[in-house]
Structure 1
Amino acid sequence: MAEKLAPSKRHQYTYQGRTVYEWNQSLEEINLYIEVPPGVSAKQLEVQVTASQLKIGLKGNPPYLDLSFSHRVKSSESFWTLDKTQLNLQLTKAEQGEPWTSLFVGHDINPLTHQVETQRLMLERFQEEHPGFDFSGATFNGQAPNPRTFMGGMSRS
């Protein structure tokens, strides 16, 4: 059986030297990681996910984050969990296979990192479509095509 490709490295968004959130992506989903203060319980959190917007905060207070996604998500298929002091959100992409250049509007990753992400997602697509092949050591020469649209696009499951 072919080995799984390594998951993408987490991208960090920092503000004034402090990490606000980290995220990574696969063909179908975005994973978002946010540190919360010790002692905060899931019942104290208010998390609102719409197709284009995310609001996170403590109930009864202004939101900690109130940002627009750079692409649309399927809010009905997205969910969150709290693991000790880390809030984990799994967001389902509305456009399966689309490589995101940023999680939120205005928080773009650099172009070289985006190119590496696109290549990794293209290899992930190849691996899903051809499970008998091992793509773990595969690389691209030059720019990789968009995994969502390449050769007629992705088949929907």
Structure 2
Amino acid sequence: MSDKLAPTERHKFTHQGQTVYEWDQTLTELNIYVELPPGVRGKDLFVDITATHLRVGLKPNPPYLDKDFAGRVKVSECYWTVEGGYLNLQICKAQEGEPWPCALAGHEIDAVQQQQDQQRLMLERFQTEHPGFDFSNAKFSGEAPNPRTFMGGMSHR
């Protein structure tokens, strides 16, 4: 049932009318999607993930992305794949349940999108803590609380 609360659309970061990357998030992870030029394979890329920073590019060129994350990550639990012409990065959040306003620092989504993400993550937390209930049609009236800290924090972790 938790997949009913999975992100339904990706956020896009664009620069000069071009999509640089897309991203979405769950309680525990952040997913970043970068469209690759035709014919690029995993061995053509360099990907460097630290607890606070991401560097991605085509060897031997300068990085395409070279930015801090919006929060800290668990490096040992992060990985990347190339599928269907995209570089897919699965980034594990260091603080589970923390809603991120952006994937990479300085690329924040607007306040309405941030609140929608926070509401969905709060419902995802409820679903995780109470698996016998279906929260897929639940709605918040007003602002949703922070899912990481609400009512004493995430009890399921």
DSSP 3-state at the match of 2:71: coil
Name the CA distance, whole Å, in 2 between partners of 1:84 and 1:134: 33
Name the CA distance, whole Å, in 1 between partners of 2:127 and 2:54: 31
5+ residue gaps, structure 2: none
Shift of 1:94: 0.4
Counterpart of 2:67 in structure 1 is 67
Higher-helix-fraction structure: 2
**Is contact 1:99–1:147 with CA below 8 Å preserved after alignment?**
yes
DSSP 3-state at the match of 2:113: helix
Counterpart of 1:81 in structure 2 is 81
Name the CA distance, whole Å, in 1 between partners of 2:56 and 2:3: 32
Q: Deviations over 1:4-49 (max 9, x none)?
A: 4242220000001100000000000000000010111111100000
Name the CA distance, whole Å, in 2 between partners of 1:23 and 1:3: 19
Aligned length: 156
Counterpart of 2:135 in structure 1 is 135
- RMSD across aligned positions (CA): 1.2
* 1:8-157 to 2 correspondences below 5 Å: 8=7, 9-155=9-155, 157=157
**Once the two structures are aligned, what percentage of the paired residues are identical?**
57
Counterpart of 2:6 in structure 1 is 7
Name the CA distance, whole Å, in 2 between partners of 1:75 and 1:63: 19
Runs of 4+, deviation exceeding 4 Å: none
How does the TM-score come out when normalised to structure 2? 0.95
